[in-house]
């Protein structure tokens, strides 16, 4: 079992990264280096901080929130598949009704071909949004940032959420407070919509 996870930040309740009210966790480290990546600061493997998984799980389970599930993003969640699988085992044992949605820059077939290194996280994933972000193929969609990305409803629970995922408003975003008190827009927003929201909100948003 992994004991630590390299993470950047978490937010809740998030409604712009999957169905219902969710906990969203941004992990640190991504080897893919997509041009136009919206979180380039999370690409280095030493970005973020290392946190004991048991402590993170205990913190999440104490949140005074009625949540539906967890969204993993980053960074690349499958770069820390074992650690995240262990975190999910703790969370889902305490909250069996929660669903798990994961954004990955890798294709599902790649993850399946990797075998054990990805299988631990793939097995409990209900919904996977796969593929690298391609800034040459932008798309307006509630969960896909570029047209090459696909949504895989991998489990019965995930398939039951298909309608909710597909019907979501693609302009939905959440505003959080990031480090240094800067505004923080959460959601699948293309560059234009992100810029427009920056202006309309009148706050410095990264």
Residue 169 and residue 16: Cα distance in Å, rounded? 9
- Interface characters, 37-56, with ligand SF4 (x: CB under 6 A): x-x--xx-------------
Regarding 76 and contact with ligand SF4 (CB under 6 A), the answer is yes
Q: Which residue of the chain is nearest ligand SF4 when measured via CB?
A: 105
Residue 63 and residue 42: Cα distance in Å, rounded? 25
Instruction: Give me the least distance between CB of 176 and ligand SF4, in Å please.
Output: 18
Instruction: Give me the least distance between CB of 91 and ligand SF4, in Å please.
Output: 22
Q: Which parts of 94-123 interact with ligand SF4 (CB under 6 A)?
A: 105
Instruction: Give me the least distance between CB of 29 and ligand SF4, in Å please.
Output: 9
Helix (H) or strand (E) holding 159: helix 156-160
Instruction: Give me the least distance between CB of 37 and ligand SF4, in Å please.
Output: 3
Measured in whole angstroms, the distance separating CA 85 from the mean position of its chain's CA atoms is 14
User: What's the burial of 12, exposed, middle or buried (CB within 10 Å: 0-12/13-18/19+)?
Assistant: middle
Regarding 34 and contact with ligand SF4 (CB under 6 A), the answer is yes
Using the minimum distance from each CB to ligand SF4, give the nearer residue, 42 or 121: 42
Regarding 33 and contact with ligand SF4 (CB under 6 A), the answer is yes
Instruction: Give me the least distance between CB of 34 and ligand SF4, in Å please.
Output: 3
Using the minimum distance from each CB to ligand SF4, give the nearer residue, 132 or 187: 132
- Interface characters, 56-75, with ligand SF4 (x: CB under 6 A): ------------------xx
- When binding is defined by CB under 6 A, the residue of 5, 22, 133, 158 that contacts ligand SF4 is 133
Q: Let me know: does 83 contact 26? Beta carbons within 8 Å.
A: no
Dihedral over Cα of 90, 154, 119, 70: its sign: negative
Tokens of 192: 């234009």
Integer angstrom CA distances of residue 199 from 38, 135, 166, 192, 204: 18, 22, 28, 11, 9
Count residues binding ligand SF4 (CB under 6 A): 14
Instruction: Give me the least distance between CB of 149 and ligand SF4, in Å please.
Output: 10
Residue 19 and residue 194: Cα distance in Å, rounded? 21
Residue located via tokens 């793939």: 122
Tokens of 43: 């690409």
Return residues touching ligand SF4 (CB under 6 A).
Answer: 30, 32-34, 37, 39, 42-43, 74-76, 105, 132-133
């Amino acid at each position: 079992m992994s004991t630590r996870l390299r993470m950047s930040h978490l937010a809740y309740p998030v409604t712009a990264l999957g169905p219902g009210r969710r906990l969203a966790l941004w992990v640190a480290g991504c080897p893919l280096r997509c041009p136009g990546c919206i979180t380039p600061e999370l690409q280095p493997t030493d970005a973020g901080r290392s946190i004991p998984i048991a402590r993170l799980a205990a913190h999440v389970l104490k949140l005074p929130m009625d949540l539906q599930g967890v969204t993993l993003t980053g960074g690349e969640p499958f770069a820390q598949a074992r650690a995240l699988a262990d975190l999910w085992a703790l969370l889902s044992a305490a909250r069996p009704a929660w669903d798990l949605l994961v954004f990955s820059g890798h294709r599902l077939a790649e993850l399946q071909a990797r075998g054990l290194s990805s299988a631990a996280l793939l097995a409990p994933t209900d919904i996977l949004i796969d593929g690298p972000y391609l800034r040459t193929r932008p798309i307006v969609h509630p969960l896909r940032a570029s047209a090459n990305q696909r949504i895989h409803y991998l489990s019965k629970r995930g398939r039951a959420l298909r309608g909710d995922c597909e019907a979501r408003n693609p302009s939905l975003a959440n505003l959080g407070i990031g480090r240094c008190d800067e505004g923080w827009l959460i959601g699948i927003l293309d560059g234009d919509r992100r810029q427009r929201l920056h202006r309309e909100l009148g706050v410095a948003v990264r």
